[in-house]
Amino acid sequence: MINETIKSSLRQAMEQLGISPIPPEINMERPANRTHGDWSSNLALAVSKKVGKPARELAEQISGYMNANLPEGVEEVSMAGPGFINFKVTHRCLLQVLIEALEKGPDGFGRLDIGKGRKVNIEFVSANPTGPLHAGHARGACYGDAIASILSAVGFNAHREFYMNDRGLQMQIYGQSLQARKEGAAIPDGGYGGEYIIEWASLMPEGLSLSEIIEWGCAHAKQDQQETLAELGIHFDTWFSEKSMIENEGIERALEDLTTEGAAYEKDGATWLSSTKFGDDKDRVLVKSDGELTYLTPDIAYHRDKYERSDWLINVWGADHHGYVARMKAAMNALGNDPDDLSIQITQLVKLVRAGQEVKLSKRQGDIIELRSIIEEIGTDATRFMYLLQSVDSKQTFDLELAASRAMENPVYYVQMAHARLCSIERNAKDEGFTQVNLSLSELEVLTHAREIEILRYLETLPEVIELAARELAPHKIVTWTRDFANAVHGFYHDCYVIGDGVSTELTNARLNLVVASKTGLKVGLDLLGVTAPEKM
RNA sequence: GCCCUCGUAGCUCAGUAGGAUAGAGCGACCGCCUCCUAAGCGGUAGGUCACAGGUUCGAUUCCUGUCGAGGGCGCCA
C-alpha cells in the first residue's frame, strides 16, 4: 500500500534530516478536501513539541527533503495549513486499484485478514417463539446479519445464532392462549391476544394436551420466523434452545458454579447473583422464592456455552435491554470469562412513516406490524438497505413509501441503478463488438477524465471502509460508501461515454475496465449488506 | 433520582481514535437530453455542529455541567 511506502519514507526523511524523536506510529489520513492531495500526515504537528521546533518549520523541512527524494508512486509533497504534509499520488499509482479489483473480482476485492480465522459468535433477533417477527425485530435482524458478513469478509469465522426462549412461564401462557382460541374460549388474563393466535390455533391439530400444544406452538412460531428471515436472506447457523439446557443440566451447572465462585447467595427464600461485586448497580435474583428461574439464569448458562464455543461474542439487543448489559457482564466475570470478549450492541428504535404520517407499530392488543408485511410493502432489498442506512446508535425514521418507490430519491434504487447502468454499458458494448479484457497499467493511462479519477479514488477506499465497518461494527459505513460511489458512477456515466462516436477503441477498452471494476466495487458493498446488485432495472 | 443512546442545513442523516474552508440526499431556486437507462448530471441558497465551561497549538469530535428527545431502572421476559 502506498500509505505504508509514504510512512517509511517519512521516517527515513526524519532520520536523514536528524529530526528526533521519531514517533513509533506515524498517522496517515485521507484529507477531507481533495485539493489537499490523496494522503496527509499530521506528523509535524504531532512531534513539534517534543522536537522543540514549530510544526510548520518541520513540515517545510520534511516535505522539501521528500520532494527531492520522491518515493515510488508519489508525485508531489507539500506543506499546508498549520503543518500538514500532503501527498499527491501519481496517476499510475491510482490506476493500480483497477488492476487489483479486476484480478480479485467481487469475491476477493476488499477482503482482508484481520480476523485470522478467530471464531466470532453473533447472536441476534432471538425473538420469543410465541408469535411472528414484527417491525421491532427488523433492525437487529438486518444489522446482525450484515456485521456477520462484514466480519467474515475481514477474516473472522462468523457464526450466526438465534436464542430461543422455549421454556418458562411465557410458553405456558402462549400454550394456554392457543388452547383457548382452539376451543373458542376467552384467552386467559395476561394471555396472548394477537389476531395471529386465532389463525395459528385453527392450523393446530385437534385433541392435543397442553404440553403438546406448547411444543406445536413453539415449532410453528420458529418455522414462521424462519420463513420471514429467509425472505430477507438471513439464515442462522444455530437455533439454540433454552430448553435444551434443562435437559443437559447446563443451567444447573451454571448455578452451582456461581455458588462455588461465591457469586450467588440465598436471601428471602430466593437465590441471588452478587452482581454488584462485578460492577452492576444491584444484585439480581437467579431463582425466585417459588423455585422458578428468572430470565437471567438460563441466559447466563447460555452465554457461558457460547464462550466455550467462540473467541468473541457479539449480542445484538434492542434499546429496551440495555439495562441488562451490566448484569450479564457481571455474571460472565464471576464465572471467569473475560467480559471484554462479549460485545453488546444496542440498537435504537426505528420509527416508520408512510407519506409523512407516522405508522403506529402496535395495531391493537397483542398485534404489532409484522416484519413480513414490511417486506411485502417495500421489498427485500429496500428493507435491508433502509434498516442499515443509519448508525444503530441513533434513533431512525424512514418512510415506507419512499423506500418502495422506484425513484431517484430512494437511496436503494439510486445505488442499484448505478450497478444496472454499468451492466447496461457492458451489454451495449458487447453489441458493438467490445468485450472487457484486462489491460496493463500503461494501456489504462488514457483514463484521465475527472470523473474517472473520482471513481478510482473512491474505489481505492473500499478496503479501508470495510475494515472500519468491521472494527466499529458499523455496516452503515458501507451503505454510505455505496451511495457515494454510486454518485461517482452516475457522474461518469453521464460525462464519459464508453462507446460511440469520438471515443477511440483504446479509450473504450480502458473504460470497459473501469466499468467492470466499478461493478465489482458496488457488488462487494451490496453483498456485504445483503442487497442484490441487479443487472437490469 | 440513577443508567444508556442521541441532539449537526427546512426535512432525513453522514462525519469525529482532536486537525485544514463541517458534507450528502430530499425539499426550494436555476441550468443540462439528435448520443450507453433524464430512474441521471451540474449550479445557487441554506449552519452559533443544543447550550455553558474545561483540557489543547487546535474541539462538532475528549471531560464536566445544563437543557431537550427516546429507552431502561421487577422475585417480568
Residue A363's pLDDT band (cuts 50, 70, 90): confident
Q: Furthest-apart CA pair in chain A: how many Å?
A: 90
- C1’ B66 / CA A255, Å: 45
Q: What pLDDT shows up at residue A412?
A: 92
Q: What is the mean pLDDT of residues A401-410?
A: 86
Q: What is the mean pLDDT of residues A472-486?
A: 95
Phi, psi of A282 (to 5 degrees): -150, 160
Q: What pLDDT shows up at residue A71?
A: 94
As a whole number of angstroms, the distance between CA A165 and CA A251 comes to: 13
pLDDT in tens, A299-328: 999 999 999 999 999 999 999 999 999 999
Statement: residue A60 has pLDDT above 90 = yes
Using C1' positions and the CA of A292, the closest nucleotide is B75
Residue A213's pLDDT band (cuts 50, 70, 90): very high
Q: What pLDDT shows up at residue A24?
A: 82
Statement: residue A1 has pLDDT above 80 = no
Residue A31's pLDDT band (cuts 50, 70, 90): confident
**Closest alpha carbon to C1' of B35, residue:** A500
Using C1' positions and the CA of A502, the closest nucleotide is B35
Q: What pLDDT shows up at residue A37?
A: 87
pLDDT in tens, A147-183: 999 999 999 999 999 999 999 989 999 999 999 999 9
**Closest alpha carbon to C1' of B26, residue:** A409
As a whole number of angstroms, the distance between CA A378 and CA A385 comes to: 11
- C1’ B35 / CA A497, Å: 8
Closest of A140, A153, A116, A234 to residue A528, by C-alpha: A153
3-state secondary structure A33-54: CHHHCCEEECHHHHHHHHHCCC
- C1’ B37 / CA A376, Å: 26
Q: What pLDDT shows up at residue A355?
A: 80
Residue A434's pLDDT band (cuts 50, 70, 90): very high
Q: Which residues pair with A122 in a beta bridge?
A: A160, A314
As a whole number of angstroms, the distance between CA A13 and CA A5 comes to: 12
Using C1' positions and the CA of A468, the closest nucleotide is B17
Average pLDDT for chain A: 93
Q: What pLDDT shows up at residue A452?
A: 95
Q: What pLDDT shows up at residue A21?
A: 84
Statement: residue A336 has pLDDT above 90 = yes
Q: What pLDDT shows up at residue A48?
A: 87
Q: What pLDDT shows up at residue A36?
A: 84
Statement: residue A49 has pLDDT above 90 = no
Positions of chain B reached by protein Cβ under 7 A: 2-7, 12-17, 19-27, 35-42, 57, 70-77
**Closest alpha carbon to C1' of B27, residue:** A409
Using C1' positions and the CA of A293, the closest nucleotide is B75
- C1’ B45 / CA A253, Å: 68
Residue A203's pLDDT band (cuts 50, 70, 90): very high
Closest of A301, A344, A298, A353 to residue A323, by C-alpha: A344
Q: What is the mean pLDDT of residues A1-29?
A: 89
- C1’ B13 / CA A345, Å: 20
What are the structural domains of chain A? 2-89 (3.30.1360.70), 119-347 (3.40.50.620), 411-529 (1.10.730.10)
- Find all residues with CB under 8 Å of A300, minimum gap 6, and list them: A254, A258, A273, A286, A328, A331, A332, A335
Q: What pLDDT shows up at residue A533?
A: 96
Using C1' positions and the CA of A425, the closest nucleotide is B36
Q: What pLDDT shows up at residue A367?
A: 87
- C1’ B74 / CA A368, Å: 24
- C1’ B58 / CA A81, Å: 12
Phi, psi of A464 (to 5 degrees): -65, -40
Residue A110's pLDDT band (cuts 50, 70, 90): very high
Q: What pLDDT shows up at residue A222?
A: 97
Q: Which residues pair with A271 in a beta bridge?
A: A266, A287
pLDDT in tens, A237-269: 999 999 999 989 999 999 999 999 999 999 999
pLDDT in tens, A440-471: 999 999 999 999 999 999 999 999 999 999 99
pLDDT in tens, A366-402: 789 999 999 999 999 999 999 999 999 999 999 999 8
Share of chain A above pLDDT 90, in %: 83
Please report how the helices A169-182 and A195-203 are oriented relative to each other, as an axis angle in degrees rounded to 10.
70
- C1’ B27 / CA A419, Å: 27
**Closest alpha carbon to C1' of B58, residue:** A82
Kindly provide the ipTM of the predicted complex, given to two decimals: 0.94
As a whole number of angstroms, the distance between CA A147 and CA A259 comes to: 36
Burial of residue A72, with CB atoms counted within 10 A of its CB: 0-12 exposed, 13-18 middle, 19 or more buried: exposed
Statement: residue A360 has pLDDT above 90 = no
In terms of phi and psi (left: phi > 0; alpha: psi -120 to 50; beta: otherwise), the region of A108 is alpha
Please report how the helices A135-153 and A371-378 are oriented relative to each other, as an axis angle in degrees rounded to 10.
70
Q: What pLDDT shows up at residue A349?
A: 92
Using C1' positions and the CA of A423, the closest nucleotide is B36
The residue type at A203: L
